[in-house]
Structure 1
Amino acid sequence: MIFHGLFRSNRRGKRGDMVQKRSKNLSDTDVAEIVGILDGWSGKLSWELFVQAIERKKFALYTRQALHKHERVRHAFSLRKRSLAGTAHSGKAEASSPELEAAFQRTARLEGEIARLKAENQQLLEQFARWAYNARTRGLGKDILNRSLPAVNRDQTRQKRLTVLPRREGG
């Protein structure tokens, strides 16, 4: 089984196939960086090209399925795909200098980021409305919902606890 040289390891599996070393789990920071890659995307967008761009930028290979599992990545991908499809028909302005081209790219990236953040904000507002409705139907008022979180007592776990086990008789 050959995957176009995407393997990072020379290990071989039971059947002699190349085995790829697993990339680390995606943290919130990683997801934010990956979504940032989508914000600046121009040209054709596909999962395969997106995975390759992530590998070049983060030096880690993730599958489409692993990326699709994260809601922010999934929504940002579909939003960017729609926005690129909508701008495919409009002509791109020609830049007369490298500085102007860089400004066009930055503007396009920022417009993509703004559109994504607006969509994420709308999703969060909808989620809040659902939560408020569900809390109200269960009799939870604002006073209960606005209570501050309890303080975390981290010293409690550092104390040694002595457990006395009962002695067995006649053993």
Structure 2
Amino acid sequence: MRKSRAPDLTDERIKAIVETLDGWKGKLTWELLADAVEASTGHRYSRFTFAQYPEIANAFSFRKDALRGTLPRGRGEPRDERVREALAQADRYKAKAGRLEAENQLLLEQFVTWAINAERKGVTLDMLNAPLPKPPRDRSKGVD
């Protein structure tokens, strides 16, 4: 009997995977990520599937770099559960902010590449910055 194929990764699933990476603690491997996604969704995806999506691949790389050389908190961890949760949330936000900054840098680099290539093809900045045409509006017949 053949295993059924996991459903395609939708924008919502990709966002959930990236958020999982933002909050990741401890050792991170593609296999561990696949295990975590399977535990939360019930579907098994391969590392090759994850790597096909730049958002996931970039978030994975960024988180892996961020985790290198860090030690888990030991004795200094607060006892109050609310404080621990607030600190964990702050860590997730810091990780997300760092990932978004890295993604923004990649987009800026892509924009520069496009601008240079457009200029080489004779496309001016004025042409690129021209406003888009307004979409035709649905007008009721007989009413102006």
In percent, how many aligned pairs have the same letter? 36
Q: How many residues matched?
A: 136
Equivalent position of 2:85 in the other structure: 102
Please give the secondary structure, in 2, of the residue aligned with 1:87.
Answer: coil
Q: Quick one: higher RCO (CA 8 Å, sep 6+), 1 or 2?
A: 2
Runs (4 or more) in structure 1 with deviation over 3 Å come to: 90-93, 149-153
1:76-87 map, 5 Å: 76-87=59-70
RMSD value over aligned CA atoms?
A: 2.1
Q: One-letter code of the match for 1:105?
A: A
- Give the drift of 1:35: 0.5
Query: Which one is further off, 138-147 or 114-123?
Result: 138-147
Residue from 132, 135, 139 that aligns with 2:115: 132
- Give the drift of 1:123: 0.2
User: Aligned partners of 2:6, 2:49: CA distance in 1, in Å?
Assistant: 10
Structure having the larger proportion of residues in helix: 2
Gaps of 5+ in 1: 1-11, 13-18, 154-171
The structure with the largest alpha-carbon Rg is 1
Provide TM-score, normalisation by structure 1: 0.72
Gaps of 5+ in 2: 138-144
- Give the drift of 1:104: 1.6
- Give the drift of 1:67: 0.6
Provide TM-score, normalisation by structure 2: 0.84
